Amino acid sequence: DGGITQSPKYLFRKEGQNVTLSCEQNLNHDAMYWYRQDPGQGLRLIYYSQIVNDFQKGDIAEGYSVSREKKESFPLTVTSAQKNPTAFYLCASSISAANQPQHFGDGTRLSIL
């Protein structure tokens, strides 16, 4: 079954702690994305990557970091610098750079303890 797998489904963060959200895809897609979804605000782009070992900041990158060491994997770290991390985080991928629709995983819900 081809798809995008996000883990864990639920995650809790303590004050001052960094946490990493996993995103793996077996669709052989080149591009991968991280979005944050808050109630009433739609999806906002955090980071995206067009190819391995390359990534760009989105609209709300502050307090987040990413890596893209493998084509299949695009983990997101929510650092302690992100003061309001409670949200639903969605990972997406697309076949290539421009003009291709993005397909999403089922998300990770992050909450503060």
Partner 1 sequence: QKEVEQDPGPLSVPEGAIVSLNCTYSNSAFQYFMWYRQYSRKGPELLMYTYSSGNKEDGRFTAQVDKSSKYISLFIRDSQPSDSATYLCAMSEGAQKLVFGQGTRLTINP
Which residues are at the interface with partner 1 (CB under 8 A)? 4, 6, 31, 33, 40-45, 48, 50, 58, 90, 92, 94, 97-99, 101-107, 109
Give residue for tokens 């991280």. 34
Q: Which is nearer to partner 1, 50 or 80 (CB)?
A: 50
Strand ranges, E, within 26-97: 31-38, 42-49, 56-57, 64-66, 76-78, 87-94
DSSP structural state of residue 73: B
> 9 or 83, CB closer to partner 1?
9
Provide the minimum distance between the beta carbon of 42 and partner 1 in the complex, in angstroms, as a whole number.
4
